[in-house]
Structure 1
Amino acid sequence: MTDLAGKHAFITGGGSGIGLATARALAARGAKLTLAARNLERLEKAATALGALAVACDVREEAAVSSACAAARTKNGPIDILVNNAGVALSAPFKGTELTFWRQVLDTNLTGAFLCTRAALPDMLAARWGRVVNVASVCALKGYAYLSAYCASKHGLLGFTRALAHETAARGVTVNAVCPGYVETDVITEATRNIAQKTHLSEAEARASLVQFNPTGRLITPEEVASSIDWICSAGAASVNGAALPMTGGEI
Structure 2
Amino acid sequence: MTPPKAIFFDINETLLDMAEMKHGLAPLLGGNEDLVDLWFANLLHHSLVDIASNQFHDFINIGAAALVMVAHSKGFSVSEDEALNAIKSHITKLPAHDDVKPTLSKLQSLNVPLVALSNSSIEGLKAQLEFADIVECFTHVLSTEKIKTYKPYPDVYRWACKEVGVEPEDAMMVAAHGWDVSGAKAIGMQTTFVNRPGKMMYPLGLAPDLNVESLTGLEQEMKKGA
TM score, norm. by length of structure 2: 0.31
TM score, norm. by length of structure 1: 0.29
**Larger RCO (alpha carbons 8 Å, 6+ apart):** 2
